[in-house]
Amino acid sequence: MDAEQVTVGYEIPEQEFTITRADLVRYAGASGDFNVIHWNERVAREVGLPNVIAHGMFTMGLAIRVVTDWVGDPSAVVEYSCRFTRPVPVPDDSVGTVLTVSAKVTELLDSNRAVISLTAKNDGVTVLGKARAVVTLPA
pLDDT at 74 exceeding the cut of 90: yes
User: How many Cα atoms are found within 13 Å in the side-chain-facing hemisphere of 64?
Assistant: 22
Considering the domain boundaries, does residue 82 fall inside one?
Answer: yes
CATH of the domain at 13: 3.10.129.10
Q: Which of 133, 113, 109 is nearest to 60 (CA)?
A: 133
Q: What share of the chain is helix, strand, coil (3-state, %, to 5)?
A: 30, 40, 30
The mean of the pLDDT values for the chain is: 96
Does some domain include residue 32? no
Cα–Cα dist 68/30, whole Å: 20
28 in a structural domain: no
The pLDDT of residue 2 is 67
Domain of residue 114 covers: 3-18+56-136
Model's pTM, two decimal places? 0.94
User: Into how many domains does the chain fold?
Assistant: 1
pLDDT in tens, 13-64: 999 999 999 999 999 999 999 999 999 999 999 999 999 999 999 999 999 9
